[in-house]
Amino acid sequence: MRRIVRFAPLALPLLLLVRGAAAQQYPVMDMVADRVIQKYQQASCEQLWQRKGKPKTMTQREKDAIQLLRNDPQMRAAFINKVAAPIANKMFECGLIP
């Protein structure tokens, strides 16, 4: 128990350092993830309900970004880790998920 208490003050800075390193690893992915998050956060629940089930048209840039995520499992994991909570929270608030 003493060891844990002795190293506890180091845990938060270490966690922040690891998170910061992951964010710097994929700067373009971070920008894309931020845009996706912003798109969900700025959308009203009514807009999200209307988009549900409709086929999505994508630009070539969006298709390229998706292909990049498919080809790089680590980048894909970082992307999903970043966008999952904000998107899920918005969908929950709007009643899109139980």
Mean per-residue pLDDT, 16-28: 63
The total number of structural domains in the chain stands at 1
**Structural domain range at position 76:** 26-93
4 domain-assigned: no
Query: How much of the chain, in percent, has pLDDT values that exceed 70?
Result: 77
Does the pTM exceed 0.75? no
Q: With helix as H, strand as E and coil as C, how does 36-95 read?
A: HHHHHHHCCHHHHHHHCCCCCCCCHHHHHHHHHHHHCHHHHHHHHHHHHHHHHHHHHHCC
